[in-house]
Chains A and B, each alone.
Chain A
Amino acid sequence: MNFSLLMILLTPIFGGLLAYAGSALHKAVRNIFFLIFLILPFFELYQYANKTIDNFYYLTVLGQSLSLGINALSFMLSLLFSLIFLLAYIFLLFEFDKSEDSDLAILEFSFLEGAVFGVLFARDILSFFIFFEIIALIIFFLIGKGYEESHNAQLKYITWALIGANSMLAAVVFLFFKAGSFGYAEISGYLSTAPTPIVLITFVLFVIGFLIEASIMPLHVWAPITYAEAPDSVSVLLSSVVKKVGLYLFTIFVFSIFGLNLFSKIMPRVFEAPLIMYVLQWIGALTIIIGTFVAIVQEDAKKILAWSSIAQSGYILLGLSLGTPLGVAGGLLHIVNHSIFKGILFFVVGGVIYRTGTKNLSELGGLIKKMPISFISMLLAIIATAGIPPLNGFVSKYLIYEALIQNKEPLLLTIALLGGTGSFMYVYRLIHSIFLGQLPKKYEGVKEVPILMQVPMLVLSLLALLFGVLPGIPMYFVSKAEAFLGFDPIKYTLTGFPEQPGLHALNVPIISAALMGGFVVAALIFYLLPKTRSVHQLDNYYAGEILTEDVKYNYSFGFYSFFDDIIKPFNEWSIDRIYENFVGFVKTVGDYIRRIYTGNLETYVSLGIIILTIFSLIYIIGGVLW
């Protein structure tokens, strides 16, 4: 069979419509219909492996043909996103099983997948913009099906999305006006000879749009509340797909359309990178550190994940904007890895909410005995998040650190590493407050999530482990994508990286084997010794006091309150507050402007009469005034 790209794009949409129609019959019909259409893209994508297609025309706008295409980078991401969509869909079925919104959610879901494919396949600045806007629109509606505060989140999200969209639209129209074409290749050709201000302005306008979607500081304001309040399956999509779409576009535009050579030509180089890339590196680094520090002091499980997601996109931006083969490989690999492990975290937290009904960390605790599978998934995910070997987060962060060392940027490296340490704090907070410690009495009856709901987390956990131990698998795709972007791909083996300039050799299976060896030795010591006796959780040392079931003694509220004290001076100038002040100012001004329409007839009439008089006077006086 031969599938065109347009077909891949339309497959989920078609499936969604069919499922929506099927929902009139029975829920099962709907579910199965849609499931089939979510699996289909894998088969359709299969034939595009190792292929680069550039011109598949599907529409003509303003005399220009819009085209689709696929390359190594978009192939890798479309494969990844198809998987995450599929898993998120399975999760969504359970999450919405009692809600009346489920049919609509599925429909929107399908359109979202189509639009995401659209952005990935777009080969001109108009198509990508159109699909990008559709994504924002659908996300807006999907968010609204979430928690209590989700409606505020909707508004915040769409305000920023609109700012981003219009900023990009400005660049799109401007470039079309100048270059006379929408195609990536033509735009790239035009830019190579364009005057410097045009290059800079359009680049900044585009990047604002991308970075808003990627929730990079200081354009992240919408993200925490949106991630936290959206339905859990949508949070997965936001963090693992939509954010990555923004970063994908960033990659394409920086390396493929604008190109590093262009930047090197028009601006000085700092630390082996063009100035604007250097600025972006710092933006990425600040995102890491601020995102991490704020995540540490959150009290809401999904807020922690949201801020963590912000911080992790800082890593990706930092890696990508280094602009070296090593850095870009790290950034791209982290796109893949972050999608996977943040997906697990959102799935697990979603499962916990599904069973307990709360995402407030101080109300949870001790669920390890009730939900062991979720615990293991989350354990793997937090190890990956913290960047500890042998999980997948380690490899990509490692590449980014090495790239920073190669570029001789100790300050950025310090920030990035410190962010890594900070991430231990919040991931531990997360797993501790949910799974460890005292089990509240009301959750005695909690069960593990249904088996189908475990599938998403388990699949991703396995992937995280696999990609961690054998980094060669994702590197296969990443190095191809890198070659597409015009870099010399870094050398890799199935097990890690051989010694090469700027990169110390790394072999993850050996680390894992040594770790396993250590475990075996320790476990032997442990289990050969006399057996242990399990005691009740209340059988604790508590300075002589006797604990009872109804007393809540778990240490989970204000876990890092002392850390809060340390960073308090910085809280004073939070970015949110700057925006709030700005919005307040704009609103005041706007309110005064609005009062031009006084609603008072006398004002209006006198205005009209004044105009009439002036012109009569001019006429009567004749040419005297002239």
Chain B
Amino acid sequence: MVEKLVLILTPIFAFFVGIFLEGFKRKMVARIHRRYGPPLHQPLLDIIKLLSKKENISHGVMFDLGPVIFVGASILTVLFLPLPHFKQLTPYGDLIAFLYIMVIGSLGMALGAGESGNPNASIGIARALTLMLGYELPLIIAGNTLVVRYGTTDLYKFMTLQSGFNWNLFLLPLTAIAGFIATYGAMGEHPFDTVVAPQEVATGPMVEYGGKHLGLLMIGHAIQVYIETAFFTILFLGGASNIFTFILKQLGVIIVMTLFDTVFPRFRIENAVRYFWRWPTLIALLGLLIVYIGGK
């Protein structure tokens, strides 16, 4: 019963954690820029503002459904991530299923943006999908390394097997580095922000979205921030024994990411993919080799 209740509340929890992480990031970026920065709950205010707009324009049914699918699928994805002490839906799908569930949202988003007919949106999506092909390679190899090491694909087991300080970050540093770079790429931070690239494609997929559409997209984005950081935490930072440690670890991930984000310029898309296929992949393969040779 408790489990079911937790299951239902998880999306809301994820949303607020995501908002918090986003807000924290904005604050941190501001401080690095020597600004004061907005308050922590600024993303929430943004969303409320967007959702309450009276004027919403639409380019068609799919255009409307895009954000809906994005948010819906993000909620689904959250449910497949385990929480401390809670398996959530992991008994019904494992790492592989998770990888595929994760893309439903992006697909919906892509379809919606595509219907707007704005070339900027289409270019943004083309870049997003290409970038995905880039960062998936090291991510898959890193994931495989864990699968080989633990002999299971269950996300909850990953978490429990790393309890204590058996973090993969310490045990498999190479894999963790590759996984980090890949996750970082998935977040679309500098230097991998070619997808939105305001100066080039005018925020890409989002270009035509405004009002409640954009509000939904931002809700989805907040949940996605939670998902990415939680995913990395579960795989490499040993999960957590209680919910606060969990959030703390996510916060740590965000802090490191933000540090990188603020100092890098932007890759061109080809170079981004080439980069992903070169260094992180090599590191990940090395990590895989070590695990493979060094006994399972």
A: which residues have CB within 8 A of B?
A: 366, 368-369, 375, 379, 383, 386-389, 394, 398, 401-402, 405, 408, 410, 413-414, 417-418, 420-422, 424-425, 428-429, 431-432, 436-438, 496, 499, 504-507, 510-511, 514-515, 517-523, 525-526, 529-535, 537, 539-543, 553-556, 559-560, 562-563, 565-566
Contacts and interface: CB of A to CB of B under 8 A. Distances in A.
25 contacts: A368-B115, A383-B107, A394-B97, A402-B96, A408-B148, A414-B141, A418-B137, A425-B133, A437-B122, A511-B89, A511-B101, A514-B80, A517-B72, A518-B73, A519-B72, A526-B64, A526-B68, A526-B216, A529-B52, A529-B215, A530-B54, A555-B119, A555-B123, A556-B122, A563-B133
Interface stretch (B26-34, B55-63, B242-250): B55-63
Given A414-B141, A437-B122, A540-B117, A535 B56 contact: no
Interface string B254-272: 0000000000000011100
A407 to B, nearest CB: 11
A240 to B, nearest CB: 23
B51 A529 contact: yes
Contact of B126 (A368, A559, A565): A559
Contacts of A518: 11, 71-76
B185 interface: no
Contacts of A504: 93-94, 96, 152-154
B76 A438 contact: no
A529 B212 contact: yes
Nearest to B288: A410
A394 B101 CA distance: 10
B133 A539 contact: no
B292 interface: yes
Contacts of B277: 566
Contacts of A525: 51, 71, 212, 216, 219
Contact of A533 (B57, B92, B107, B136): B57
A413 B110 contact: no
Contacts of B202: 541, 543
Interface string B265-296: 00011100110010000000000100010000
Nearest to A427: B107
A515 B104 contact: yes
Given A530-B56, A537-B59, A565-B270, A436 B129 contact: no
Interface of A is mostly: helix
A418 B144 CA distance: 12
B89 A514 contact: yes
Nearest to B92: A507
Contact of A422 (B94, B104, B115, B133): B133
B21 interface: no
Contacts of A429: 126
Interface of B: 11, 51-62, 64, 67-76, 79-80, 89, 91-94, 96-97, 99-101, 103-104, 107, 110-111, 114-120, 122-123, 125-127, 129-130, 132-133, 136-137, 140-141, 144-145, 147-148, 152-154, 202, 207-208, 212, 215-216, 219, 268-270, 273-274, 277, 288, 292
B125 A387 contact: no
Contacts of B140: 413-414, 417-418
A556 B55 CA distance: 30
Contacts of B92: 496, 505-507, 510-511
Given A424-B132, A510-B89, A562-B130, A531 B117 contact: no
Contacts of B11: 518, 521
Given A437-B122, A526-B216, A554-B119, A389 B100 contact: yes
B93 A534 contact: no
Contact of A532 (B58, B100, B132): B58
Best-buried of A429, A437, A542 by chain B (most CB within 10 Å): A437
A532 B64 contact: yes
Contacts of A559: 122, 126
Contacts of B152: 504
Given A425-B130, A510-B89, A437 B114 contact: yes
Given A389-B100, A530-B53, A410 B59 contact: no
Contacts of A388: 100-101, 103-104, 107
B249 to A, nearest CB: 25
A30 to B, nearest CB: 40
B250 to A, nearest CB: 21
Contacts of B68: 519, 522-523, 526
B115 A436 contact: yes
B212 A566 contact: no
B3 to A, nearest CB: 13
A623 B141 CA distance: 79
Contact of B148 (A375, A410, A437): A410
Nearest to B68: A522
B133 A418 contact: yes
Contacts of A522: 67-72, 75, 216
Contacts of A554: 117, 119, 122
Contacts of A375: 62
B58 A511 contact: no
A506 B212 contact: no
B58 A535 contact: yes
Given A418-B137, A541-B207, A424 B107 contact: yes
Contacts of A402: 96, 153
A506 B270 CA distance: 37
A67 B259 CA distance: 73
Contacts of B53: 530
B117 A405 contact: no
Nearest to B70: A522
Contacts of A521: 11, 71-72, 75
Given A410-B292, A507-B92, A526-B68, A421 B132 contact: yes
Nearest to A496: B92
